[in-house]
C-alpha cells in the first residue's frame, strides 16, 4: 500500500501559479513558426512548448460557489502526432490552455486528452496541428545513472524565453508525489533547481528524454525531482485503450523488520530479509491470502530486504516498484513466512477506488446538499484541506476509512460542515464539523442516501439527525423545512441547494 501523508508537504508543486491573465489567441495572420536557424544547438528546443493555463479552483468551504479563478505557466514537449506531454498539475482544473512555441509569438489553443493525477502526468493536443507537422518527436531513454549529468529544459519564471540548466543525478528513490498528496512512485533527484514554470519540461540525456521535471524541495537549494521513464511509459501504455485506469495496489501495509527480538519471535533467520505485514485492506488484492503477522520474503522472485527494498535494474528500490509497473489483472508472485513456514501464491492485482478518498481531486465539483440551512458534504481530502476538523471522531473515520474497511459499509462519510443561520435551525451552530451517523434511525451510507432519508415520500413529524460524538441528536419539524430552504436560498444567494455529481 502506498504511503500517505496528510500534513502540509515540503515538496512544492511547480505549476507556477500566477495571477490569471486574459490572453486571447492571435489571429491567423500571425507569422508562422520560425524554422530552425542554421547552427541552432538542438532540434529538441523546437519541440519544447510553453503552456499558459487559466484555471478555476472549486470552493469546498462554500460548495455552491463557482470557485476562484487563477492561472499559471508550465512546460510541455512533443512526443508524437499531436501529443504534448506535461504535468497534470500544470493543467489541473483548467478552463483554457494556450501553447506557445520557442521563438514564435503565436498562441495555439489546446485541450487535455488524458490526465493522471496519481502520477502527475497529462497528454495535451492542439486544435490545429498543421504548424507542428515537421517538429521532431522526442523519444525516451532509460533511468539515468547516479552521478550522470542531465539537462532540464523549460520556461521557468524570470523571463519569457526558453531556459536550459544542467544538473547531476544525486538520488533514485521511491517517494511521494505532492500533486495528489496520497501517491508515491519512483523519482529521480537532481542537483538543479526545478522552478515555477519548469514543470512538465523534458529532462534530457544524450538527446533522449529521461524524465519530466515536476517538483522541488522547499528546504534545499538546487534540488529538483523528475518523473523517470518507467512511470512515463506506464502512463502512456495505460491510455492506449482510450482511458486512464489508475495504478493498482497491493492492498497490504508493511513494517521494517530490523529488530532482532522481533525477528526471533517471528521464527526468522538473521539474514536481513523480510518485512512484516501489519494490515491487509478489505477487498484488496491480498485479502484472503496474506494476513497481519505474515512476513513477505519476495515478490516476483525479487528478495525483499528488512527495509522493504528489492534489487531492480541494478538499483535498490521500494518493493512496491514491482506492483507499480503492472496493471489491473496482472499477477504478482508472493512468497511469505507464516508461523515459521514458507508459503507462496500468485495474486491478481486490482485498483482500490476507495483509496482515492485520500487523494486531492481535480476537475470535479464539490458534492453537497443544503437542508434547512444545514450543509452536508462527503468527507475527503479536498474537504479536509479546506475545512478545519477538530473532532476526534471525524479524524478517526477519515484515517480508518480504508485500512479498517469503513468504505464497505459507508460509501461516504457524511459531515455537517456548516449551519447557515435560519429560525428553524437556531442553536445548532455548535454541531458543525461533526460526522453523521444516522438519520431518522437509519445508518447513513452515502451523501445521496442522507438526502433521501431527509426527503422521504411521507414526511415524519420530526427529522432526527444523530451525529458521532454529539451529546444529543438534532431535531427539527419536517413541515418547516420547505419554507426554510427557500429562506436560506434567498438569504445566502445559493442558486443550487444540492449537487450529487462530481
Q: Are residues 192 and 277 in the same domain?
A: no
Q: Alpha-carbon distance 95 to 367, whole Å?
A: 20
Q: Alpha-carbon distance 463 to 455, whole Å?
A: 10
Q: What does the angle CA 441 – CA 442 – CA 444 come to, to the nearest 5 degrees?
A: 130
- Closest by alpha carbon to 190, among 227, 158, 230, 224? 224
The answer to whether residue 259 scores a pLDDT higher than 70 is yes
Burial class of residue 440 in the structure, from the number of CB atoms within 10 Å of its CB (0-12 exposed, 13-18 middle, 19+ buried): middle
Q: Is residue 140 part of a domain?
A: no
Q: Are residues 389 and 495 in the same domain?
A: yes
Q: Is residue 353 part of a domain?
A: no
Given pLDDT bands bounded at 50, 70 and 90, which one contains residue 388?
A: confident
Question: Tell me, what CATH number does 334's domain have?
Answer: 2.30.42.10
The answer to whether residue 332 scores a pLDDT higher than 80 is yes
Phi, psi at 471, each rounded to 5°:
-75, -20
Q: Are residues 218 and 331 in the same domain?
A: no
Cell 411521507, residue?
458
Among 217, 241, 265, residue at a domain's last position: 241
Q: Alpha-carbon distance 154 to 151, whole Å?
A: 10
HEC readout, 73-110 = EEEEEEEECCEEEECHHHHCCEEEEEEEECCCCCEEEE
Cell 493543467, residue?
91
- Give the per-residue pLDDT at 203: 97
Active site residue 199: yes
Q: Are residues 121 and 93 in the same domain?
A: yes
Catalytic residue among 47, 118, 120, 305: 120
User: pLDDT tens digit string along 462-484?
Assistant: 999 999 999 999 999 999 999 99
Q: Is residue 463 part of a domain?
A: yes
Neighbours of 495 (CB within 10 A): 8
Active site residue 120: yes
User: pLDDT tens digit string along 18-41?
Assistant: 333 333 333 334 445 555 544 334
**8 A C-beta contact, residue 278 and residue 255:** yes
State how many domains the chain has.
4
Neighbours of 8 (CB within 10 A): 7
Q: Alpha-carbon distance 440 to 463, whole Å?
A: 6
Q: Are residues 493 and 370 in the same domain?
A: yes
Q: What is the mean pLDDT of residues 89-102?
A: 95
User: pLDDT tens digit string along 103-127?
Assistant: 888 999 999 999 999 999 999 999 9
What's CA 436's distance to the chain center, in Å?
27
In this structure, what C-alpha cell is assigned to residue 327? 496493471
**8 A C-beta contact, residue 413 and residue 401:** yes
Q: Alpha-carbon distance 296 to 382, whole Å?
A: 34
Active site residue 270: no
Q: Alpha-carbon distance 497 to 489, whole Å?
A: 7
In this structure, what C-alpha cell is assigned to residue 246? 489508475
Catalytic residue among 47, 89, 179, 463: 89
Q: What is the mean pLDDT of residues 452-469?
A: 96
Given pLDDT bands bounded at 50, 70 and 90, which one contains residue 316?
A: confident
Phi, psi at 247, each rounded to 5°:
-80, 150
Q: Is residue 99 part of a domain?
A: yes
- Closest by alpha carbon to 376, among 474, 296, 237, 253? 474
Q: Is residue 3 part of a domain?
A: no
User: Left if phi > 0, otherwise alpha if psi is -120 to 50, otherwise beta: which for 244?
Assistant: beta
Q: Are residues 162 and 112 in the same domain?
A: no
Given pLDDT bands bounded at 50, 70 and 90, which one contains residue 42?
A: low
Cell 419536517, residue?
478
Least confident of 60-64, 229-233, 314-318, 344-348: 314-318
Q: CA-CA distances (angstroms) from residue 60 to 8, 68, 144, 315, 396?
A: 18, 11, 41, 42, 21
Q: Are residues 486 and 449 in the same domain?
A: yes
Question: Tell me, what CATH number does 157's domain have?
Answer: 2.40.10.10
- Give the per-residue pLDDT at 392: 96
- Give the per-residue pLDDT at 456: 95
Q: What is the mean pLDDT of residues 243-254?
A: 94
Q: What is the mean pLDDT of residues 374-402?
A: 95
Q: Alpha-carbon distance 323 to 305, whole Å?
A: 16
Q: Is residue 329 part of a domain?
A: yes
User: Which domain, by its residues, includes 108?
Assistant: 11-132
Q: Are residues 207 and 267 in the same domain?
A: no
User: pLDDT tens digit string along 333-360?
Assistant: 999 999 989 999 999 999 999 999 999 9
- Closest by alpha carbon to 423, among 373, 352, 360? 373
Q: Alpha-carbon distance 274 to 295, whole Å?
A: 6
- Give the per-residue pLDDT at 367: 97
Given pLDDT bands bounded at 50, 70 and 90, which one contains residue 44?
A: confident
Q: Are residues 208 and 270 in the same domain?
A: no
> What one-character-per-residue DSSP string does 194-239 give?
--TT-TT-EEEETTEEEEEEEEEETTSTT-EEEEEHHHHHHHHHHG
- Give the per-residue pLDDT at 33: 52
Instruction: State the greatest distance between any 2 C-alpha atoms of the chain, in Å, as a whole number.
Output: 84
User: pLDDT tens digit string along 154-200?
Assistant: 999 877 889 999 999 999 999 999 999 999 999 999 998 888 899 99
Least confident of 13-17, 80-84, 198-202, 345-349: 13-17
Given pLDDT bands bounded at 50, 70 and 90, which one contains residue 303?
A: very high
The answer to whether residue 6 scores a pLDDT higher than 50 is no
DSSP 352: -
Q: Are residues 283 and 343 in the same domain?
A: yes
Q: Are residues 177 and 125 in the same domain?
A: no
Catalytic residue among 92, 163, 184, 199: 199
Amino acid at each position: 500500500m502506498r504511503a500517505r501523508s496528510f500534513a502540509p508537504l515540503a515538496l512544492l508543486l511547480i505549476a507556477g501559479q500566477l495571477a490569471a491573465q486574459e490572453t486571447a489567441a492571435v489571429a491567423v495572420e500571425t507569422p508562422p513558426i520560425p524554422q530552425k536557424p542554421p547552427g541552432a544547438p538542438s532540434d529538441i528546443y523546437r519541440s519544447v512548448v510553453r503552456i499558459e493555463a487559466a484555471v478555476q479552483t472549486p470552493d469546498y468551504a462554500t460548495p455552491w460557489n463557482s470557485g476562484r479563478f487563477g492561472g499559471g505557466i508550465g512546460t510541455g514537449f512533443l512526443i508524437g502526432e499531436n501529443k504534448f506531454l506535461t504535468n497534470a498539475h500544470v493543467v489541473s482544473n483548467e478552463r483554457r490552455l494556450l501553447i506557445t512555441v520557442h521563438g514564435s509569438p503565436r498562441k495555439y489553443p489546446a485541450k487535455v486528452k488524458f490526465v493522471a493525477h496519481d502520477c502527475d502526468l497529462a497528454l495535451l493536443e492542439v486544435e490545429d496541428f498543421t504548424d507542428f507537422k515537421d517538429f521532431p518527436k522526442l523519444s525516451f531513454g532509460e533511468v539515468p545513472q547516479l552521478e550522470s549529468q542531465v539537462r532540464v529544459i523549460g520556461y521557468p519564471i524570470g523571463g519569457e524565453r526558453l531556459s536550459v540548466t544542467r544538473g547531476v543525478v544525486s538520488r533514485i528513490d521511491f517517494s511521494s508525489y505532492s500533486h495528489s498528496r496520497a501517491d508515491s512512485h519512483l523519482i529521480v533527484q537532481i542537483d538543479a533547481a526545478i522552478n515555477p514554470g519548469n514543470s512538465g519540461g523534458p529532462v534530457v540525456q544524450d538527446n533522449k528524454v529521461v524524465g519530466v521535471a515536476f517538483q522541488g524541495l522547499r528546504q534545499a537549494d538546487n534540488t529538483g525531482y523528475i518523473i523517470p521513464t518507467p512511470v512515463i511509459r506506464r502512463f502512456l501504455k495505460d491510455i492506449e485503450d482510450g482511458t486512464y485506469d489508475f495504478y493498482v495496489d497491493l492492498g497490504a501495509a508493511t513494517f521494517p523488520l530490523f529488530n532482532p527480538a522481533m525477528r526471533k519471535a517471528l521464527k526468522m533467520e538473521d539474514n536481513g530479509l523480510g518485512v512484516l505485514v501489519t494490515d491487509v485492506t478489505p477487498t484488496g488484492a491480498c485479502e484472503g491470502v496474506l494476513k497481519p503477522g505474515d512476513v513477505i520474503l519476495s515478490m516476483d522472485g525479487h528478495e525483499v530486504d528488512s527495509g522493504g527494498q528489492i534489487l531492480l535494474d541494478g538499483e535498490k528500490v521500494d518493493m512496491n516498484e514491482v506492483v507499480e509497473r503492472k496493471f489491473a489483472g496482472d499477477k504478482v508472485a508472493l512468497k511469505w513466512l507464516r508461523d515459521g513456514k514458507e508459503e507462496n501464491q500468485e495474486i491478481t492485482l486490482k485498483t482500490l477506488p476507495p483509496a482515492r478518498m485520500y487523494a486531492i481531486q481535480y476537475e470535479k465539483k464539490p458534492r453537497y446538499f443544503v437542508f434547512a440551512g444545514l450543509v452536508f458534504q462527503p468527507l475527503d481530502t479536498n474537504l479536509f484541506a479546506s475545512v478545519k476538523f477538530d473532532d476526534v471522531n471525524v479524524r478517526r473515520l477519515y484515517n480508518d476509512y480504508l485500512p479498517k474497511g469503513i468504505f464497505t459499509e459507508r460509501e461516504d462519510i457524511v459531515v455537517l460542515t456548516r449551519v447557515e443561520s435560519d429560525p428553524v435551525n437556531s442553536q445548532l451552530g455548535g454541531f458543525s464539523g461533526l460526522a453523521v451517523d444516522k438519520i431518522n434511525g437509519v445508518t447513513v451510507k452515502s451523501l445521496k442516501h442522507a438526502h433521501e432519508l431527509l426527503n422521504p415520500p411521507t414526511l415524519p413529524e420530526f427529522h432526527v439527525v444523530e451525529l458521532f460524538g454529539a451529546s444529543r441528536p438534532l431535531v427539527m419539524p419536517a413541515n418547516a423545512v420547505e419554507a426554510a430552504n427557500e429562506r436560506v436560498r434567498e438569504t445566502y444567494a445559493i442558486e443550487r441547494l444540492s449537487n450529487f455529481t462530481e
